[in-house]
A and B are shown apart, each in its own frame.
Chain A
Amino acid sequence: MSKLSFRARALDAAKPLPIYRNRDLPDLTDCVSINRAVPQMPTGMEKEEETEHHLQRAISAQQVFREKKESMVIPVPEAESNVTYYDRLYKGEFRVPKQLIYIQPLGLDYELPDYDMDSEDETLLNRLNRKMELKPVQFETMMDRLEKASTNQLVTLQEAKLLLNEDDYLLKSVYDYWVRKRKNCRGPSLIPHIKQEKRDGSTNNDAYVAFRRRTEKMQTRKNRKNDEASYEKMLKLRREFSRTMSILEMIKKREKSKRELLHLTLEVVEKRYQIEDYSGEILNEVTAPLAEKPIYTAPISLPNGNRHKTESKIKSHKSGLKHMHPFTVKAEPHFDFVHSYKNYTKRPRLEVLRQPGRPERQPIINKADIKQYDFHSSGEEDYPLSPASEPDEENDPDGIFAFRRKAGCSYYAPLTEQSCAPHWQKTDQDQLWQRNCLTALSVPRRCTTVTCRRMGRGGRVLLDRTSSDLDRALRHLDPEMFYPSSESRVPDLPVHTNTNSHTFSTSSPQCSLTQILSDIKACRWKFFRPRPVQENSRGEDKKGTQQVQKSGVSPLSNGVSGGITEEQFQSHQQQLVQMHKQLKQQELQLNSTAPEPHTHPPNTVSSDCMSKTLDSARAHFAASAVVSTPNNENRPQGASVNGIFSNSGNFRQAKLNRSAPSGGPQLPVPQSLPHGRGHLSTVSAVSPAHTYHSARPCAPSALKLGSVASSLDRVSKVTPTSAIDSIARENHEPERLALNGLSETTVAMEVT
């Protein structure tokens, strides 16, 4: 019926095909030739391979036998499964969990080195282990880091040091070994890697380059803006994470240091016990010289038991970050943990020299420590430069005198409304006294008007003069007599102070260097900012000043600064408390004592027991810095306060000078603060004010103070009611005061 010439229809996939058994269709064979109508499907193999001998043989075998025959199998290279040491190699057992295994998308990334030690390394390790304990993983981590840090060029030994943070001997051995091994290594790296493509396309045909990027894939349909935004968000997130990392890292270090401190303290106690130093005499003996010249840069680096204290200060300091100004944040890079941690006895000194404190230099300091966290990349925290002076000074013209932040100090934002002269003029007496005081200079012995002292760059002390209605009286004030002004507020202004203290004015070159030097040696510049205690009422002003007088006298009469009696201290504190209350009543929002950058740098607030009234209180009581010579052996308690103003000749000067001429005798109110017991003495803020006739209003009255004071520790105990919140110290490197070349330690204190 069917003709062979007949052409079959195309096979229709949608058409049902009836299924027959061959036996049911005896006449099927007649129709076989039609099969060619169905197009032959390709096998899907490469033509060349399709004809391969073994395949053909296998195919035909299958067609003939309908099952595989052993000998017709396509031969393949043999595989063995008899690794005898398998069980020793893969140790332990793995229990199959009941649930299907599910991998968390963000699996924990174990920070384990990619580098795997070989037998050669093991030899070295064994050798090293004779001298020290070095775990294989530790070694691998070192190799891993070295390997990953080097590209075409090997890392240098210096880089390796930063990278590895191991002790020198170990580092050197491993580094040398690594360099040798690396040189003998055939491959590009000791950790074998798949060859990467090169951008220039030169590797397009390199058979060993694999897993190239699909470059065209970047054509994205997505909204570009969206991409950018999310990219930025990711960047921000990353930055924040890295900051968190840094902070955690620092915390880690801090805690480590704490632990070490604890151990050291314990050790000290044990030692004391052994040598039966129950009274602490020996300890004092030993620690005395240390206390004489404490050079502190990084709080962690404090050489002795102070460390603990300082650290806690940092903590509080840090905890206070949020509500403080970005300024404080800035201080962080100074926590130079890494460096100071190891060689804290020597390093800080160098550190200080190297740190001009310019923000742009700061990243260097902690680079090794935090570089991996991208700590500085955050653009939002640009260091607010001190608006103090010379806005045109861009490139660190201050050299070593550049302002630098102190660890443990809190810096407050400038209060703009108080920092400009017009406002000052508007302020009443009350506010005037809050930041200013009557000042006299001792070297050109003159009485200035009401001034505000602040520390300029390089430790120069600047006096900002303010005009007031007292100016007229002040103008006639005799600096020698220096006593009660028209209002007789300060009856007892210390003559000593006058003689002892020196302001060095750059505008008075007649001062001989030796004189300055001697002045400096003996000098204590005491400064106090008197406050009108009760709301503008004279009587209360007097009260305040009287109190101040008392305390102001004694240090002077002692001949030693800071020598005040217990009584005085008590009364003073009472006064302080009172003043606090008054202040609160007034609800004065006085957050800072002065135009911030000017006054504050020398002031260190370390908030041991930071009270809420601190700010306003501080506004009332001047915090002052104590400058003391470390070589003042005879004054172990050497607590001196220098309150010195100098006019830096900035833009404000003109205004001030203009307002200054009407200078009258002012009321310098010295104030001394209690100092702690022991030779780790308290700082007393004694501020004898020197009146100064501002005879030269136009003079660039940048006054430099070379003042040296002996070292101070801290107020060791503060009563709860005490107005003294804390005293922190800061040091100025001796070298920094090029003027006198003497070491100068400034201890600032906050009084509330």
Chain B
Amino acid sequence: MADLSGEVVEGCRLPVLRRNQDNENEWPLAEILSVKEIPGRKLYYVHYIDFNKRLDEWVTPDRLDLKKLQFPKKEAKTPTKNGLPGSRPSSPERDVRKSLDLNVQSASAPSRGKTLPTPKRKAEPVSLATQVTAATPVPSLPSSTETSQASVFPAIRDSFGIKSRDEHEPLTTNGTPRRLIPSQPGRKRKNCGGTDEMVKVFQNNSPRCSTIYLLPGEDSQDSSDGIPSAPRMTGSLVSDRSHDDIITRMKNIDCIELGRHRLKPWYFSPYPQELTTLPILYLCEFCLKYLKSLKCLQRHLTKCNLRHPPGNEIYRKGTISFFEIDGRKNKTYSQNLCLLAKCFLDHKTLYYDTDPFLFYVMTEYDLKGFHIVGYFSKEKESTEDYNVACILTLPPYQRRGYGKLLIEFSYELSKVEGRTGTPEKPLSDLGLLSYRSYWSQTILEILMDLKSENGERPQITINEISEITSVKKEDVISTLQYLNLINYYKGQYILTLAEEIVEGHERAMQKRHLRIDPKCLHFTPKDWSKRGKW
């Protein structure tokens, strides 16, 4: 065992012991994403394949089943990548890096004396990832290594920068190019490996390349990463994961203390790097400022007089309130909120500022103040009918109906605006479940309330459902499909309500106590096209 453990490197796969919800041991296959050495032992950051990233964790060596260790295979991944996406175990970045490094290898090999399990392939990613982990506080290290190479061989680099791309061309269909291609607004990520795209990329890139070797700092990351393309500027989610690298794939915060709660973040969040090494990151419950210690939080609380989110309360019923915060006017809070939300939203991007968003924060009041429960953000102007950008119920409040309340509220706003809306894609697993659940209940509620008139069967159009609920037509259809309500019968489409569906719905509605009361909503939509939304 011990002799093998030295060979457990990034990219390896092996079964790892984990305990499921039922407190049973299971040995799902996992990929090693990172290795770090703390005094006395090694820790491995593992991603359980086919499990959500939020379950990724640091494990001790004794949880690794080293007998079934699979070393990363060079080509093996390509077909899987293409056909069956599975997880994103080996990030596309690695492919590029690999081929780059093949070029570099001659130059860099002497400096990397590490014995590699399969020296023929991927010498680079391995050592690279090691550096990353070893240098958690200084994540720029990998690039700096490359930087040094780059600066030593600037001319070479330039040439093989191009070359490596040439090599990539055949890989286009393998999903590699998507990371090279600037994301297309409004388009879902696809394997759009058109050579046109590639040409575009080169055009964009070539002028950079000519100068880039003088700026190794920039080069190192960029060249390995395709072009430093900026993501699209609308929306709040990335579907294009080309900017994913090993850093963002790993959780960087151990624990967040927020008010009464201690949260275990699920995903990476770009809090200041010096704070990521702390065992606990403290947040002010009301302004969400991040603080490095309890003492600091204590001090901060003497100065922070907020007892509710710093926005206008537009809804209050019982203890539930909603506050509207303009991402342009209250940047600090918006940013702090986004940082916190990023801990629990994988696809959320914080690439751009918060200006074009409104934030609706749901709070629960008690004597201490208005405690944040969840929030959703919304573009002031959406070109794609999005009425929600990001939506999150904080973990302590999950599975208690708050998520549905947030969703309901977002549709209430759309109703006031007089338009239909849909959440920004991609949805997360929990997002999908929540939305489906909301849509199902909302639609079933309508269908079951329909009374037959004049003895005829009640009927309704999809457009009508959409209008009543503000749920976008496509979502209505998909829900009807999902519930298997829509059927083709005797030459026409009909909606059929199965018994178990009706019963299930009734049971669910009994449990759904938290509802939005439209009468308590004080909201006037603004025409952001006439204002500075940014």
Q: A-side interface residues toward B, CB under 8 Å?
A: 1-2, 8, 11-23, 25, 28, 31-32, 34-35, 37-38, 40-55, 58-59, 62, 65-67, 71, 73-83, 86-87, 89-91, 93-94, 96, 100-103, 105, 107, 110, 112-113, 116-119, 122, 136-137, 140, 185-188, 192-195, 200-202, 204-214, 216-217
CB of B154 within 8 Å of the partner chain: no
Residues of B with C-beta under 8 A to A201? 218, 228
7 closest A-B pairs by beta carbon, nearest first, are A66-B504, A187-B274, A41-B478, A34-B488, A79-B395, A192-B272, A48-B85
Mark interface residues in B457-483 (1 if CB within 8 Å of A CB, else 0).
Answer: 111111100100000011101100100
Chain A residues positioned under 8 Å from B139 (CB to CB):
207-208
Whether the pair A2, B490 counts as a contact (CB closer than 8 A) is yes
Q: Are B486 and A46 in contact (CB under 8 A)?
A: no
Closest to A24 in B: B496
User: Across the interface, do B273 and A15 meet the contact criterion of CB distance under 8 Å?
Assistant: no
CB-defined contacts of A71 to chain B, threshold 8 Å: 21-22
Contact call A103/B87, Cβ cutoff below 8 A: no
Cβ of B170 within 8 Å of any chain A Cβ, yes or no, is: no
B460 & A21 in contact (Cβ 8 Å cutoff): no
- Are A119 and B352 in contact, with the CB atoms below 8 A? no
Complex partner residue of A116 from B257, B291, B310, B370, CB under 8 angstroms:
B291
CB distance A31 to B459 under 8 Å?
A: no
Say whether B368 faces chain A, with CB atoms less than 8 Å apart.
yes
Closest to B88 in A: A48
A208 touches which one: B273, B428, B505, B507 (CB < 8 A)? Answer: B273
The reply to whether B260 and A14 form a contact with Cβ atoms under 8 Å apart is no
| Stretch among B36-44, B95-103, B429-437 lining the A interface | B429-437
Question: Are A14 and B461 within 8 A (Cβ)?
Answer: yes
Per the 8 Å Cβ criterion, residues 133-180 of B in contact with A are 137, 139-140
- The chain A residue with its CB closest to the CB of B507 is A67
A–B complex contacts, Cβ < 8 Å, 29 sampled:
A12-B493, A17-B462, A38-B477, A41-B474, A45-B428, A48-B86, A49-B426, A59-B433, A62-B437, A66-B501, A67-B508, A78-B395, A83-B261, A89-B297, A89-B301, A93-B368, A94-B369, A100-B312, A100-B313, A101-B308, A107-B310, A117-B295, A118-B293, A118-B296, A140-B299, A194-B335, A205-B228, A210-B335, A214-B352
B374 sits at the interface (CB 8 A) = no
What distance in Å separates the Cβ of A48 from its nearest Cβ neighbour in chain B? 4
CB < 8 Å A-B pair total: 354
Segment at the interface with A among B48-56, B67-75, B115-123: B48-56
Q: Which residue of B lies closest to A10 (CB)?
A: B493
Q: With A25-B489, A86-B259 as given contacts, are A214 and B494 in contact (CB-CB < 8 Å)?
A: no
Residue in A28, A40, A74 with the greatest tally of chain B CB atoms within 10 Å: A74
Within 8 A of A (CB), among B402-429: 423, 425-429
Most buried by B among A32, A78, A100, A201: A100
A209–B270 touching, CB < 8 Å: yes
**Interface assignment of B264: CB less than 8 Å from any CB of chain A:** yes
Is B274 in contact with A100, judged by CB distance below 8 angstroms? no
Assembled-state Cα–Cα distance A376/B473 (Å): 62
Contacts A18-B494, A66-B504 given; indicate if A45 touches B462 (C-beta within 8 A): no
Name the residue on B nearest A106 (C-beta).
B329
B259 touches A90 (CB 8 A): yes
- The minimal Cβ–Cβ distance linking A16 to chain B, given in whole angstroms, is 4
Q: How far is the CB of B441 from chain A (nearest CB, A)?
A: 11
B293, A28: Cβ atoms closer than 8 Å: no
Of B6-14, B106-114, B197-205, B240-248, the segment with at least 4 beta carbons within 8 Å of chain A is B240-248
Across-interface contacts of A50 in B (CB, < 8 A)? 429
A73 cross-chain contacts in B, Cβ below 8 A: 21, 399
**A42–B239 CA distance with the chains assembled, in angstroms:** 14
* In the bound complex, CA of A40 to CA of B477 (Å): 9
Q: How far is the CA of A82 from the CA of B365 in the complex (A)?
A: 18
Residues from chain B with a CB closer than 8 A to the CB of A66 are 500-501, 503-505, 507-508
Q: Which of B85, B272, B395 contacts A187 (CB 8 A)?
A: B272
Partner of A45, one of B247, B273, B427, B507: B427
On whether the beta carbons of B270 and A194 are closer than 8 Å, the reply is yes
Q: At the interface, yes or no: B453 with Cβ under 8 Å from chain A? A: no
The answer to whether A44 touches B423, judged by C-beta atoms less than 8 angstroms apart, is yes
Q: How far is the CA of A462 from the CA of B350 in the complex (A)?
A: 72
| A35 CA / B261 CA spacing, docked (Å) | 47
Are B354 and A211 touching (Cβ within 8 A)?
Answer: yes
**Nearest Cβ on chain B to A329's Cβ, whole angstroms:** 37
Given A34-B487, A71-B21, A202-B215, answer yes or no on A100-B303 (Cβ-Cβ < 8 Å): no
Measured CA separation A51–B221 after assembly (Å): 31
Smallest CB separation, A15 vs chain B (Å): 6
Assess the B312–A103 pair: CB atoms within 8 A. Answer: yes
Is B65 on the interface with A (CB-CB < 8 A)?
A: no
Per the bound structure, the CA–CA distance linking A136 and B295 in Å amounts to 12
Q: Mark B324-359, 1 if CB is under 8 A from A, else 0.
A: 000001010001001100000001001111111000
From B51, which residue of chain A is reached at the shortest CB distance? A53
Of residues 268 through 314 on chain B, the ones whose CB sits less than 8 Å from some CB of chain A are 268, 270-275, 277, 285, 290-303, 305, 307-308, 310-314
Assuming the contacts A8-B488, A192-B274, asked whether A79 and B225 have C-beta atoms less than 8 A apart, the reply is no
Are the CB atoms of A205 and B367 closer together than 8 Å?
Answer: no
Closest Cβ of chain A: how far from B175's Cβ, in Å? 11
- Name the B residues within 8 Å of A1 (CB-CB): 490
Cβ-defined contact, B450 with A105, below 8 A: no
Is B222 located at the chain interface by the 8 A CB criterion?
Answer: yes
Contact between A136 and B335, CB atoms less than 8 A apart: no
Cα distance, A364 to B230, chains bound together (Å) = 45
- Tell whether A15 pairs with B432 under 8 Å between CB atoms, given A46-B426, A116-B296: no
Which residues of chain B are within 8 angstroms of A89 by Cβ–Cβ distance?
A: 294, 297-298, 301
Answer whether residue B184 sits at the interface, using C-beta atoms and an 8 A cutoff.
no
A76 surroundings in chain B (CB, below 8 A): 54, 266, 395, 398, 430
In whole angstroms, how far apart are the Cα atoms of A351 and B457 in the complex? 98
Q: A48: which B residues are within 8 A, CB to CB?
A: 85-88
Q: B272 → chain A, closest Cβ, in Å? A: 4
CA distance A187 to B500 in the complex (A): 58
Contacts of B498 on A, CB cut-off 8 Å? 22
Whole-angstrom CA separation of A195 from B139 in the bound complex: 13
Q: Which residues on B sit within 8 Å (CB–CB) of A42?
A: 478
| Chain A residues whose CB sits within 8 angstroms of the CB of B248 once the complex forms | 207
Q: Is the CB of A19 within 8 A of B488?
A: no
Please determine whether B481 and A38 come into contact, CB atoms closer than 8 angstroms: yes
Q: Report yes or no: B450 in contact with A19, Cβ–Cβ below 8 A.
A: yes
Cβ of B262 and Cβ of A79 under 8 Å apart? yes
User: Min CB distance, B263 to chain A, in Å?
Assistant: 5
Q: Is the CB of A28 within 8 A of B270?
A: no
Q: Quick one: which of A47, A75, A216 contacts B55, CB cutoff 8 A? A: A75
Contact of A62 among B50, B307, B433 (CB under 8 A): B433
Nearest CB to that of B464 among chain A residues? A16
* A19-B458 contact, Cβ under 8 Å, with A31-B489, A210-B335: yes
Chain A residues with CB under 8 Å of B277's CB are 186
Measured in the bound complex, the distance between the Cα atoms of B347 and A51 in whole Å is: 16
Asked if residues B368 and A90 are in contact (CB atoms below 8 Å), the reply is yes
Q: Taking each of B189, B295, B431, which has the highest tally of chain A beta carbons within 10 Å of its own beta carbon?
A: B295
* B61 at the A interface (CB under 8 A): no
Assuming the A-B contacts A18-B458, A101-B323, A113-B303, are A75 and B21 also in contact, with contact meaning beta carbons closer than 8 angstroms in the complex? yes
CA distance A40 to B338 in the complex (A): 33
Question: In angstroms, how far is the closest chain A Cβ from the Cβ of B505?
Answer: 8
Partner of A205, one of B222, B266, B270, B347: B222
* Least Cβ–Cβ distance between B210 and chain A, in angstroms: 15
| Cβ–Cβ < 8 Å partners of A51 in chain B | 50, 85-86
Q: By the criterion CB–CB under 8 Å, are B259 and A83 in contact?
A: yes
Which of A13, A37, A96 is the one whose CB lies under 8 Å from B463?
A13
Which of the residues A96, A105, A187, A193 comes within 8 Å of B365, measured between beta carbons?
A: A96
Per the bound structure, the CA–CA distance linking A207 and B20 in Å amounts to 31
A35 touches B488 (CB 8 A): yes
Across the interface, do B367 and A93 meet the contact criterion of CB distance under 8 Å?
yes
B493 A15 Cβ-Cβ under 8 A:
yes
Please give 15 more A-B residue pairs, beta carbons under 8 A apart, in addition to A8-B488, A89-B294: A38-B481, A46-B189, A46-B426, A52-B429, A59-B433, A75-B55, A77-B265, A87-B368, A117-B296, A118-B295, A185-B274, A202-B218, A208-B247, A210-B335, A211-B350
